[in-house]
Amino acid sequence: MAITAKSVDELKKATASALTISGNDVKVLNWSLIRGEAADTLAWTVAFSPDAETRATGAWLIRVLAKQAGNGPASIHDVYMAKGKGALPTNFTVPAINIRQMAYDYARAIFRVAKKHQAGALICEIARSEMGYTAQPPMEYASSILAAALREDYPFPVFIQGDHFQINAKAFAKDAKAEIEGLKKMCVQSIDAGFYNIDIDSSTLVDLAKGTLDEQQALNYGKAIEISDFVRAHQPKGVTVSLGGEIGEVGSKNSTVEELEAFMNGYNKGLKPGQAGLSKLSVQTGTSHGGVVLPDGTLAKVKVDFDTLEKLSAESRAKFGMGGAVQHGASTLPTELFDRFPQTGTCEIHLATEFQNIMYEHPQFPAALKNEIYEWLKVNAANERKEGESDSQFLYKARKKAIGPFKAKLWGMPQAAKDAIIATLTEKVELLFRKLNVGGTGPAIKPFVPLPDVSLPAPAAAKAGGAEHFEGDD
């Protein structure tokens, strides 16, 4: 288990052989140590240190080191716009992977596979709701991802995405201003942490009872414009945050080309002159988040409307210059379907639940820990149980809610169990990368991904005492 520093001084001493700090500057003494024990210490410290200043210092060090290594956070906006203009092919689909659990270890495995296949078209993401129940605020999540890229010497910029930055329809109806202000606050925190890709989800406000498509989508695109304006005003100089919109709530009726046009026409009409708009649009084509769970705990078969997905992707590129359509709720689909996404020109595909399932359902996952989690859920998530649900249905849907409360135990599980789970994860990622055709995309997209030169001032605690160089340094 890695060191978790409890104070800034302890963190400096733990990393003293790898780096020195002088004001806002960090000098690397030993890159091998950075890509070893130091990365481990930094990631664990940001996730688990009881001291806020120590966590902030660890996050700052990770950002600075990632910038120096060339795998800092970046925006995928120009890649998608290049797809829309025909400057990049449409025959690869970017996997956007929601890493809910064991974030540092999972991300390390994903970057190992990506490095092996020179895959640069890859997004690590987390939804607004996931940040809550997995206990991973933006700074911590970004630190886990960037530390993992450092650890694996990943050679490309890293795309970190805020998935489903969603407007809660019930909260909006009760107090619209408070709900929007909460979402804006989350955007600022995320951008500051290095989330240069944000999916705005105001599709919860679509009103299908309205008479025309424009009326149905008006509140959706109106709030998407408001959030877009806010993000553009707060993005760092030299960064165009990649923004996505959404026209159909996942799990509801399938989207249509006419709905896409109604949303995009309204959205583009409301943009300020010269302002960058959306780079992609999420649609509904038959899937649901996590899949549909049957009473025995198995998943119902899902029929994806690939014809509609292809039409929506083509329309979004031809008429609006975006990268294409985005498919949500896809991780639990049959493996043989994944070839179809690049064939239909799908821009991006979101993958979450299956990666969680790999951990929970692995034969090496500690039985005692799983039983402890399930018993905890029966008490602490009982209000989420729907009438008539079997234990299997309830636990399958609710177990994501235990990831935050059990984060330390999941990160710290026996190494043999962790290694076995990561091996299975690696096989899954290898398969997906091959089917989504992202191998070799690192060099291909490099001309479209400038690494931002964002100023990263050190936290006051990190600068205390001036240059730090402890006895025993190399």
Residue 267: name the closest of 238, 275, 178, 257 by CA.
Answer: 275
Report pLDDT for 473. Answer: 34
296 pLDDT more than 90: no
Read off the pLDDT band of 448 (50, 70, 90).
Answer: very high
Each residue's pLDDT tens digit, 32-55: 999 999 999 999 999 999 999 999
67 pLDDT more than 60: yes
Which string of b and e fits 72-83 if b means at least 16 CB within 10 Å? bbbbbbbbbbbb
Read off the pLDDT band of 465 (50, 70, 90).
Answer: low
Each residue's pLDDT tens digit, 332-347: 788 889 999 999 999 9
220 vs 329, more confident: 220
Sign, CA dihedral 172-176-181-184, equals positive
Each residue's pLDDT tens digit, 227-273: 999 999 999 999 999 999 999 754 457 889 999 999 999 999 999 99
469 pLDDT more than 50: no
Mean pLDDT within 160-180? 97
Mean pLDDT within 301-315? 87
Mean pLDDT within 433-453? 96
Report pLDDT for 297. Answer: 57
464 pLDDT more than 80: no
Q: Are 281 and 263 in contact (CB under 8 A)?
A: yes
Mean pLDDT within 447-467? 84
**Pairing between β-strand 242-246 and β-strand 280-283 as defined by DSSP bridges:** parallel
Residue with tokens 């038959």: 286
Q: Are 45 and 87 in contact (CB under 8 A)?
A: no
114 vs 301, more confident: 114
**CA dist 107 → 91, 124, 242, 294 (Å):** 25, 8, 21, 30
How far apart, in whole angstroms, are the C-alpha atoms of residue 91 and residue 444? 12
Report pLDDT for 397. Answer: 93
**CA dist 58 → 41, 118, 139, 157 (Å):** 9, 28, 10, 20
22 pLDDT more than 80: yes
61 pLDDT more than 50: yes
Each residue's pLDDT tens digit, 186-220: 999 999 999 999 999 999 999 989 999 999 999 99
Each residue's pLDDT tens digit, 93-133: 999 999 999 999 999 999 999 999 999 999 999 999 999 99
Report pLDDT for 285. Answer: 81
